[in-house]
Structure 1
Amino acid sequence: MDLFTWLPPDATRVLFVLFLSFLIGLEREERKISDEQYAFGGVRTFPLIGLIGYCIAVLSRGELLPQAAGFAVVAAFLLMAYWHRLAVSGNAGVAGEMSGLATYLVGALIFHEMYWLATALTVSSVILLELKAQLENLAKRIETTDILTFAKFLLLSAVILPLLPNQALTEFQINPFKAWLVVVAVSAVSYGSYVLQRLTKAQGSVLFSALVGGAYSSTVTTVVLARRSRESGQAHLYAGGILVASGMMYLRLAALLALFNRALMMRLSLPFVVLGCIAVLAGWLWSRRGEVEAASGMAPMEPKNPLEISAALLFAALFVGMLVATRLVVEHLGHAGVYSLATLMGVTDVDPFIMGMTQSADSLTPLPVAKTPPPIAAASNNLAKGVYAFVLAERRAGVQSLVFLLTLAAGGLALLLV
């Protein structure tokens, strides 16, 4: 039963205005109690501002000009309060006055029956006002490079992507929108790993670096851990970390397959997830054998910015090149040519090739053929990483890593028999 059915609609709206504006006023009242400095408004002022906004909207019957005039009048009073606060305390913050303007808008929005927007505005205002200290500390921790990196991600996803045509072009059936969407998705995974590494770089844990770095690039993580193993006698720890990073590669590929090709996902995602989880678990268990003390004093792994525009353009070029190469190989060399191409690309970077297979499966490459190259490319990549670890790592860590990655490669190829 609706408790407000017996109330007139305007009464219900007025109660809603009072409730939402009271929440903002309550936060401001607490701020005045906790701060000795002068603060504008409280549990009476803000509900009055909300009621003014609602009543002006009612009297003007929703006309924009009278509501804008009322907004200007309220803003003028808030400006006077701001000048008074500057003269009394010298505090130049303007958040309280801005919350007053937001309260006026809450009243107007409720008149127009935009209840969700009014509630969202109120909740956002209260959160932003209440988390003042935490947000200011966060702003101090964020570096200029982090802001620039996020701006690049927005450029890749929100600016460039909508401008591209969403249709197949040329005889190779290349869709610019889908091609760049792949770039955005891979960049988003790498960016998430990059942010996590930046936020937790002070921890310096080998296994944590392997987990996060493997989601970014298992090849780069393998090389870094292999080189660092020479500085420590903990062969089990670094060999286990390298195996964990390669397990994360399978989990990353499973997520990308799920995003871009449902048919391939049904064939490969579950085996990839199982193989990745086994590798991560085995690497963690192996790292705890022998000397288990983590190298807590080691320098944290410094991740490379994955959102350089040049890197995104290079990935896009590689991705389109894989689509073209796959089409030509299928036409002229058949299935054996596709498998050879998968082996070759696995030595360098598996992402462009496997993402190319997600787009060419069914259209350029039959699904029974398209499901085979991804495990081959991943196995080839594991073989290459095993060689890197054997050459670059401390002897025992290198031998253990090579054995683990060869076993993982064999397990990946065994997927072809399932």
Structure 2
Amino acid sequence: MMAIFAVGLLILLMGIGVPVAWAFAAVLGYLIIAFDVNTVTLLLQGFRSLDHIVLLALPLFVLTGYLMKSGGIAQRLVNFIELMVGRKKGGMGASMVMASGVFGAISGTATAAVASIGTIMVDPLSHRGYPRGYSSALLGMSSLLGILIPPSITLILFGVATRQSITALFAATIGPGLLLLLGLILFNRFCVGRLFNEELLLQESEVDKETKKSGVLVSALPALSMPFIILGGIYGGVFTPTEAAAVAVVVALLIGFFIYRDLTLSTLRKSVVNAAETTGTIVLVLLFSFMIGKILVAERVPQELTEFMTDLVQNPIMILLMVNAFLIFAGAVMDDLSVTVVIAPLCMPLMMSIGVDPVHFGAIVACSVVIGANSPPVAPILYMACRIGKVSIHKAVMPAIYLIVLVGMPVMLLTTFVPSLSLYIPHLLGVM
């Protein structure tokens, strides 16, 4: 009962606008008093949990995202993708979705994708006839491709919290990520001409078109090399995910300083400061959440939850549906960090009791984060996308709901009930 109250308190505090880190601190304080925990031992356990080599990837991937924006890499990616598909019907929207996917395959974070891709593309979309509310909702959903298409900071946190292979988790979300990308492109294609009209660009002469295409392709080659270097290195066994994050930073610096020359000492300093602030918040939340998890495990809360659910419902399909619903609800009222490092480990014993592979469960959790991060009342990514898009949240809510119901939830259900969608690639690559 005390554990249920703690989860409810966390949801309440975040719902009324208490900063995430301090909401976790308040819940931790309550649990320490309620269960009379030895704080010295708990602090040692918490700091020991943070002493993990994989967590070094967090600040490095976050920094990569900021460097891509300030170093001109994101702009070249968008230019290249827009040239390839931007002149077709629905092409501008598809360009934003694909650019977010490529960006996610480098930086591993949704917030950086919203800031970088949104800043570049929302205004051009508006000029082409896309409503800003719709563009912001599409930006919010497509930026979450950074969670599903590896590398992914969310999956790194899940792997650390549940002691699973980070490489296997990266491979498990490739299938769902590509499915979400395709679903968003098809949804956008359906909307163009029905919900709004897209103004097509004037046709260029074949000579001008080829000249422009060659120039954009040459300019984009260094940026396009980054996902091949990072992902190829991880799955080729050249380096670990943590080493890949360090390589990504070095490559982004070299491209930004010496090839594109958009990166300066001033913008580098700003990128480092922004990355440090973001990482500091994440690590503080992680510390509190790890300590909360230690208390809950010591009090056998996950085991009791498993026993309660299996006594209540014996059908594995119904249990999966209930866990899906719970994860979506949790994601709608909590941020993605909370769902990943607190709620997911609580549900892990229950999922394993019905035969769900932990890596498969990681893919399910990642899909739930995609939905929750765009679902009111919290909807942190959707709110951020609206700020970038300079539009009221009220104009983006309905398009976001359509995207969630018609694209996000089908992808989550397919991921849940078709395990091979998540597990085939990890088995194929021999990482599990």
Fold agreement, TM-score > 0.5: no
TM-score, normalization: structure 1? 0.42
Q: Which has the higher contact order (CA 8 A, sep 6+)?
A: 2
